[in-house]
A and B are shown apart, each in its own frame.
Chain A
């Protein structure tokens, strides 16, 4: 009966600098994006999730790609303008010490990956998804090499510290933490180690992501975990936390077949890149995306809440009513939201049938389960703006 995790732990998998720590702390290791990662610890997904929302959770996200874009001209504007060829976001206006959510778009307007971009004064620092990082690096080299030196930072770990106690915990190791606000980012000394810290994350909670040299990662993680407010959190709770926060998971909720407008990510596209803006277009897929920004897309990503207790999971077809034979959409992420103590999901529906509070049905094991379109985030975020 056991649906064991899709890939069991294998020696061919890569290890992050915190691998030994995960094993020592009883992490249940599974393959994820080519890495041997903890899906949970002895605490369990449910308690790990809830602990993050009430205290602080430490996540190893070292499998993600960290890349520096250094302008050949030594002018940061040149790197920013170059990156704008690949994303529909305004990077030029991103101030030093600030971070922004962005997406790499393709020719047809679909999404090649989503990423975080930070302005570190004389260069840009980007964080991309683990499963996409090889392609992303090639994409950057192919398109930005005239303007930028592209430096993947292979010798750094990435540690996320998330939750309402994250600030207090991190402030014990660094003087420059408490003054940061949401989406501030830059070099900071943490516990005597030179790190890059951003006040952001993937849980909907206030928190930080800390890029640290690999050889210092275990020490830093150990120092953070020594605080009784902090528990190590696995990928299982990371997924349920981001789902409750309404955040997209690349390869599931967004991919090359979804545009930013279909994915309800218009909020991330600034006016300067839209029609009539100072630098309108000029990125892959601009024609499709700019037109959809004005006219809307044929389908839309929505949040879904179930009426019953049965989780509705990725891949479940969505129907307009309990009897219709043709599906109108599909669930792209779904599961149980521990903070809501109820099932939650997100998926795509025709825009005409995507109004808030509309009832739709998901087919699960031959039964039609009623769902209601609900605003996201499902759980209010607590970012320190």
Chain B
């Protein structure tokens, strides 16, 4: 894909200039994952592997439905299963499809030091341009959702692309295509928000009074949203952050401190130069040499 030029960037990592963005007349897209309709079949996981030609190493059974146990460089989406006993003492099987949330204000992109290694298109998709990636792992620190994974083989960071290659030619992401229950929907963000509203209404009418849409404002909203039956407690769903935001440490480091540090260094150099101009160099004088000799050879001095 890197051979096709993109002229629809709205953000580009480690770039101080406006990225090519003339083709910005694009609708913001969103993937809506309706947790209440998911049956945990993992068709989305399989479709992701198939479309993206990803084949992770075959692992071992770990006593959990989660398979593999965690995201990795070749697993960009993962079903996470939670068995939760609700207030009535009933078991609820909460299944969440985990993966990149495609934040409107992406922490990975903010933290990335490599120009153009992470970009955001006008449709909202956050994409890793791997040939620019230097493998530092800063995106891992920037991400509030613990998504990017660095490959030990090629030292590049990987995550869900929201099938930017498919979306770019008018197709829906592979996981959406494969979902047999319609739990994963894809379209414009406004359409998906409207659709989520209908789903939430339905859930509420069935007794899930806390049902709601997960589109966290702490990261400016996301382009992957969830319909949750327990939207008041997102962390029930395998630790989905309750109020995600880019870490303050990362914000200070990449925000205020970056220009301050360079200014501090530059000022020190300028101060040195000004001292050179005002006071000038400190040179040993012939009188000093005479005094020095006198200290070293006091007897000769007496003679």
Q: Say whether A associates with B.
A: no
Interface residues, chain B, with chain A CB atoms under 8 Å away: none
